[in-house]
Amino acid sequence: MTSCFNGGAGWPEPVVRVQAVSDTCGATIPERYVKPLSERPSLSPAAAGGAGGGPNIPVVDLSMPDADATSEAVAAACREWGFFQAVNHGVRPELLRSARAAWRGFFRQPAEVRERYANSPATYEGYGSRLGTAKGGPLDWGDYYFLHLLPPSLKSHDKWPSLPASLREATEEYGEEVVQLCRRVMRLLSTGLGLEAGRLQAAFGGEGGEGACMRVNFYPRCPQPELTLGVAAHSDPGGMTMLLVDDHVRGLQVRSPDAGKWITVDPVPDAFIFNIGDQIQVLSNAAYKSVEHRVAVSAAEERLSMAFFYNPRSDLPIAPMPELVAPGRPALYPEMTFDEYRVFIRQRGLAGKAQLQSLQAKATAAPADDPAAGGSPSSS
Ligand SMILES: O=C(O)CCC(=O)C(=O)O
């Protein structure tokens, strides 16, 4: 069983690949993957969103990025839902398909090949099966591969799988195009706030100063999908996320503005599912929402998704932009770098909206210039 375990790389206990669990567990999933009743996914038609005839995340056409109507539609979606599906986004469909096929090819490699890239909690780079380092902590029904694309100093092709042979080139090209798309959306988000088009990008450290990384998630078939989650409820800690999912397998569930009901997203083929992350919620002083989401898994089909995280430069102080702070609208968050913020995520794993809420509590309890209001996230 050495091919299923990675016990020596700094994790608190041996890491078992969900792919191996799925292949061997029969009809019952191990206890560690069973979520408490209150966290289990809604798989009923009522949660089906668009497919069930209910509300769903907006679809926004990005074919005219300079039109006022485009920034208005982006801003309305991000204020209300924190999410939208981007169509006519300018990234070639062939590239979406080749990147997705390459990564599916990686997860189909023999276990010995995948294990060459096993990750550790020090950086999370590589092939992994858990987030968070608490011994005995809950596990999600998914394996993943995590890698860096920007800044160039963090990118290393040697840390990317060499098999299948197309993977490195497809990932490189995909990353370049998605960064360009993220920059276009940053302009739309800025103008949607009534700011100059480059304002948000400047707060991220300018073009060339930003960070980008990607987590490719692989959710094997699960015999009891009603008991577990592929990724537990969380908001994304970074700036924003461009998610590419399997066109035909649903799984992503988003908290709707309507009393926080979970809605299952119905993927539009070749669209990106875009969402605001915590850093843009902070910069926009909560005008744009970083909304909780989670992933349901399927008994019938495996699923692959590629989450591209676009982030501010990691050592820049991030705080509500002064233009969005007014006497009636005080700064809701203290200043903190993204490096400081993600310490929390790495130690504790995903925790719904707990971190952002604790920051907000600190900011509203102490004056903005009180040094105690800007403490390290790991201390919260
Ligand atoms: O697989 C999905 O649909 C979403 C994945 C996700 O939320 C994440 O990787 O943070």
pTM: 0.92
Residue 348 pLDDT: 62
Instruction: State pLDDT tens for residues 17-48.
Output: 999 999 999 999 999 999 999 999 977 655 55
CB 95 within 8 A of CB 174: yes
Kindly state if the Cβ of 305 falls inside 6 Å of ligand 1: yes
Kindly state if the Cβ of 295 falls inside 6 Å of ligand 1: yes
Confidence grade of residue 134 (pLDDT, cut at 50, 70, 90): confident
Residue 380 pLDDT: 23
Listed by start position, the domains of the chain span 16-330
Do the strands 59-61 and 83-87 form a parallel or antiparallel pair, or are they unpaired? parallel
- Residue 373 reports pLDDT greater than 50: no
**Residue 242 C-alpha to ligand 1 middle, in angstroms?**
10
Beta strands in 228-279 (DSSP E): 231-234, 240-245, 252-255, 262-264, 272-276
**Residue 62 C-alpha to ligand 1 middle, in angstroms?**
22
| Segment among 252-261, 265-274, 301-310, 337-346 with least mean pLDDT | 337-346
Residue 356 pLDDT: 79
Q: How confident is the model over 338-359, as a mean pLDDT?
A: 75
Kindly state if the Cβ of 245 falls inside 6 Å of ligand 1: yes
Residue 329 pLDDT: 95
Of 282, 275, 270, 284, nearest to 307 by C-alpha is 275
For ligand 1, what atom is nearest to the CA of residue 215?
A: 9
Instruction: State pLDDT tens for residues 229-258.
Output: 999 999 999 999 999 999 899 999 999 998
Q: How confident is the model over 208-213, as a mean pLDDT?
A: 97
Angle at 230 between CA 296 and CA 29, to 5 degrees: 95
Residues 6+ apart with CB under 8 A from 61: 70, 73, 87, 88
Q: How confident is the model over 293-314, as a mean pLDDT?
A: 98
- Residue 372 reports pLDDT greater than 80: no
Kindly state if the Cβ of 345 falls inside 6 Å of ligand 1: no
| Separation between Cα atoms, residue 27 and residue 42, nearest integer Å | 20
Beta strands in the chain (DSSP E): 5-6, 15-16, 59-61, 83-87, 126-128, 143-150, 211-219, 231-234, 240-245, 252-255, 262-264, 272-276, 293-295, 303-311, 317-318, 336-337
Q: In the numeric block, which tokens belong to residue 273?
A: 């599912």
Tokens 């925790």: give the residue. Answer: 351
| Separation between Cα atoms, residue 7 and residue 4, nearest integer Å | 10
Q: For the chain, percent helix, then strand, then coil, each to nearest 5? A: 35, 20, 45
Query: DSSP letters of 28-74?
Result: S--GGGPPPGGGS---SGGG-GGGGTS----EEE-S-TTSHHHHHHH
For domain 16-330, give the fold. Jelly Rolls (2.60.120)
For ligand 1, what atom is nearest to the CA of residue 230?
A: 1
Instruction: State pLDDT tens for residues 77-114.
Output: 999 999 999 999 999 999 999 999 999 999 999 999 99
Residue 23 pLDDT: 97
- Residue 378 reports pLDDT greater than 70: no
Average confidence score pLDDT of the chain: 90
- Residue 371 reports pLDDT greater than 50: no
CB count within 10 Å of CB 233 equals 19
Confidence grade of residue 351 (pLDDT, cut at 50, 70, 90): low
Confidence grade of residue 357 (pLDDT, cut at 50, 70, 90): confident
**For residues 151, 157, 158 and 161, what is the CA-based torsion angle, rounded to 10 degrees?**
120
Mutate to test the pocket of ligand 1, among 222, 243, 272, 292 (most ligand atoms within 8 A of CB): 243
CB 194 within 8 A of CB 311: no
Kindly state if the Cβ of 264 falls inside 6 Å of ligand 1: no
Kindly state if the Cβ of 251 falls inside 6 Å of ligand 1: yes
pLDDT greater at residue 27 or residue 365:
27
3-class DSSP state of 138: coil
By percentage, how much of the chain surpasses pLDDT 70?
88
Q: In this structure, what are the phi and psi dihedrals at residue 292, rounded to the nearest 5 degrees?
A: -65, 140
Angle at 145 between CA 227 and CA 122, to 5 degrees: 100
- Residue 261 reports pLDDT greater than 90: yes
Residue nearest to atom 8 of ligand 1 (CA): 307
pLDDT greater at residue 222 or residue 356:
222
Q: In this structure, what are the phi and psi dihedrals at residue 342, rounded to the nearest 5 degrees?
A: -80, -10
Mutate to test the pocket of ligand 1, among 252, 274, 278 (most ligand atoms within 8 A of CB): 252
Residue nearest to atom 9 of ligand 1 (CA): 307
Mutate to test the pocket of ligand 1, among 18, 57, 103, 231 (most ligand atoms within 8 A of CB): 231
Of 342, 367, 207, nearest to 277 by C-alpha is 342
Q: How confident is the model over 187-203, as a mean pLDDT?
A: 98
